[in-house]
Amino acid sequence: MAMDLAKKRVVVTGGAGFVGRVVCQKLRERGCREISVPRRAKFDLTSEHDVKRLYADGKPDVVIHLAAEVGGIGANMDNPGRFFFANMAMALHLIEHARVNEIAKFVQVGTICAYPKFTPVPFKEEELWNGYPEETNAPYGIAKKAALVALDAYHRQYGLRGAYVLPVNLYGPHDNFDLRSSHVIPALIRKCTTAVEQGDDHIVCWGTGKVSREFLYVDDAAEGILRAAEVMDEPLPINLGTGMEITIKDLVELIAKLTGFHGEIRWDASKPDGQPRRCLDTARAKKMLGWKAQVGFEEGLRRTIEWWRKETSTNQQVKKSKGAAV
């Protein structure tokens, strides 16, 4: 039977973040009123001591682990050690103390970066162990994949019930738009909208544009995560995606069109492309979760662009008002 989350105390790590805020919203819509969101200022989840305090304070029935240290290709290349340690340590301590506290369910959100570099397309969950991940994000991907091993082992030895989902590249409002650490869609939206505002005649994009990706709107991802929390007891890996593949070149051209940028698109081939292709087989999600993506790609991009423009407009107005006050 599906778990009724309305009757559970739920801890959502990363609950104030990009995906987490939507997960918490959807939990409230389901009637859940006991939701705890640990903040980094109070709980360092890489510290076992702080994780113990989290379980003691929150007394959760369910933990949905979304917190991660993550970024785009550049951030992964700059922080391989930190990304491995932080993501491995968080999962290690949280899963162990889920066992100690005998919680009802632990939900781990993995990453598509865990798949082998040359996984046959569309990616099937059975291919997860058939090779090494793409090198630029392997430390992050392997740490996340190790959490799957931990959940499986704890399920078999201790009976810990768990779920493990693998969302494809996410996008949507409230994403990270910092060009130093953002993923491809928010980075491109920011580049294009800035170019439009400043009247620039070109933008520069990393790589060759030949690689492909698949993208999932954040609301659809949040619904998939909660469906896994409700119906899964055994941590089988489950892809969350749309099954729609697009080259980065086509993606840039689409975002340029939607933002009204008509200048030249230049490619810096000295920068890495990352994994050659990404596109998921989502049959298992449909079968086991009764879930499939609902938001069309162009519609999702329009919503994200609209949110970013409102956000930047609001920030500019605040700066002007502060300047006037001074």
Active-site residue numbers?
A: 140
Cβ–Cβ < 8 Å for 27, 5: yes
Question: d(Cα 304, Cα 183) in Å, to the nearest integer?
Answer: 13
What are the distances in angstroms from CA 255 to CA 23, 44, 193, 260, 301? Answer: 26, 37, 9, 8, 8
- Sorted by sequence, the CB contacts under 8 Å of residue 132 that are 6+ apart come out as 116, 117, 138
The three-state secondary structure class of 12 is strand
Cβ–Cβ < 8 Å for 263, 195: yes
What are the distances in angstroms from CA 205 to CA 32, 184, 209? Answer: 43, 10, 8
